[in-house]
Structure 1
Amino acid sequence: LIGIASSGPHSNGYSLVRRIYERAGSPADLVLEDGSKLVDALMAPTRLYVKPLLSLLKTHGSAIHGMAHITGGGLTENIIRVVPEGLGLDIDATSWTLPPVFQWLQREGNVADAEMWRTFNCGIGFVLLVPADQVAAVNASLDALQLPHWQIGKVVEAVEGSERVRIG
């Protein structure tokens, strides 16, 4: 699983964002640890992936076994939709740093990890499912397209009686 960076919350979870923001006293000018203002981070335009991904598909189309735009349903519900039954996902949450805007939302809203993964993209706006032997080549192309990305996990055999998506 190769996760491509989001530009912020995109358009998901804003009912929760509004509640947290208002409960925190609407601190628009609050400066986050990366130096950005909270209001700018919350209102950052959604990164559009279409053009760079069309370019990537021209070069690596046969190597990309699945793609998932991380929208409503966050990381727990979007990627698994393109994974056949009998398989699951093992996502390593330590493979990328939760962006400061999501850290603030989680801290200020006292939002549990599971709810963060289900509601927000948590810094991962798009995911590619790529065979292990193609990861380096796809990563090189993503670098050339100037799309920040991380190897965030892998497709695994599903365990009977367990959730198909494990984030740890």
Structure 2
Amino acid sequence: MDYQQAGVDLVNAEEAVRAISSAVRSTYNTQVLSDIGGFGGLYRLGDEGSGILVATTDGVGTKTEVARAAGRWEGIGQDLVAMCIDDLVCTGARPLFFLDYLAVGKNEPSLIATLVTSMATALHSTNTALIGGEIAEHPGTMAPDQIDLAGFAVGLMDPQAAIGVNRVRVGDRVIGLPSPNLRSNGFSLVRAVYTELLDHIRGGVASSEELFRYEQLIEPSVIYAPTVLTLTSNSLLHAASHSTGGGIVHNLARVIPDGLSAHIDASTWEWPKVFTDLMHDGEIPLSEMRSTFNLGIGMALVVDPAHVEAVLSSYPGSIEIGRVGEGTKRAQWS
């Protein structure tokens, strides 16, 4: 099975970006410092050298349907925060505030409280304020127990502390921060593989093995922002890449300059069991696994060789997974 068979057309996704590019760029002014495709949108507040606002937006995606199968909403707010804030810090920005958009089939106050409490707990860890949001009730278009959750984060970047493509050099090392689970990516494919399992969960007839697998799937995302912020403030990072949709290599390519290539050595770590089981159960090709899931590396950090030991010691289980050299492909498996 692959992503397209599960209903996600990545070719159309790329075509959609091309189709909107000119319209998006037509709105830019001289304060806009970024283009489509980065981890965040950059907007300079004043003259050159002024502070820069960075904004990101994302959603939980169809992991909400996995949560819905058993009414397990406690970690979904954390997933949302992780998807937005961990993108934001890949620019070197410090998060300031967050807003959420919550669409529901039926407004159940206890469900709303659970979701927002989950967000608030996660935001505390990044010192980010939840300053607003929207609750939209959509009867007739969503089932009473169905939700969709999206978020919007804004941070402030000191231009002197920015990290990213301009700092990456030949010889830099790539450090992977471990992810024990799927986080909040690739769940359309996950749901297609585990349709029967989720039906059993809904019906209350799941086996002990199925219950264990469900717990693996629903486990909330790790939040890497506090570690990345500390490393950035100590000038230990050249770049950071959040391994969301597209996997490790596709996202890492976003912070590697033309003429260089980050080579990722797949033999340097073992996949967590949830990934090997998913690959086996869904008969998913290796190429599809690599282009869809984080495979146990939730954040990839590009660092100077002199800083490798300091970065490795900053996060338990982190490991050197590659290095930067010359090349035509910005990132690749080796």
Range into which the TM-score falls when normalised by the shorter chain: 0.7 to 0.9
With the length of structure 2 as denominator, give the TM-score of the two structures: 0.44
Higher relative contact order (CA 8 A, sep 6+): 1
SS of aligned partner of 2:194:
helix
Q: Distance in 2 between matches of 1:50 and 1:131?
A: 20
1:165 match: 331
2:321 match: 152
**May I ask how many residue pairs the two structures share in their alignment?**
155
Correspondence 1:7-156 to 2 at 5 A: 7-22=180-195, 29-30=208-209, 37-59=212-234, 61=235, 63-142=236-315, 147-156=316-325
Name which one, 1 or 2, has greater alpha-carbon Rg. Answer: 2
Bigger fraction of residues in strand: 2
Deviation of 1:65 after TM superposition, in Å, equals 0.7
**1:54 corresponds to which letter in structure 2?**
L
Q: Distance in 2 between matches of 1:58 and 1:92?
A: 28
SS of aligned partner of 2:209:
coil
Q: Is the 8 A contact 2:181 2:219 kept in 1?
A: yes
Dislocated runs of 4+, deviation >6 Å? none
Q: Is the 8 A contact 2:180 2:296 kept in 1?
A: yes
Q: Deviations over 1:113-154 (max 9, x none)?
A: 111111000010001001122101211223xxxx32111111
Deviation of 1:12 after TM superposition, in Å, equals 0.5
SS of aligned partner of 1:2:
strand
Deviation of 1:28 after TM superposition, in Å, equals 6.4
Q: 1:30 to 1:66 in 2, by over 3 A?
A: same
SS of aligned partner of 1:80:
helix
Q: Distance in 1 between matches of 2:233 and 2:207?
A: 42
Q: Distance in 1 between matches of 2:333 and 2:230?
A: 30
With the length of structure 1 as denominator, give the TM-score of the two structures: 0.84
Q: Is the 8 A contact 1:76 1:165 kept in 2?
A: yes
Deviation of 1:54 after TM superposition, in Å, equals 1.4
Q: Distance in 1 between matches of 2:312 and 2:333?
A: 22
Q: Deviations over 1:42-101 (max 9, x none)?
A: 111000111222122222x2x311001100111121001000011112111111111000
Q: Distance in 1 between matches of 2:194 and 2:186?
A: 12
Unmatched 5+ stretches in structure 1: none
**2:208 corresponds to which letter in structure 1?**
D
Q: Deviations over 1:10-47 (max 9, x none)?
A: 1100000001112678666327xxxx921111111000
Q: Is the 8 A contact 2:250 2:291 kept in 1?
A: yes
Q: Distance in 1 between matches of 2:212 and 2:325?
A: 39
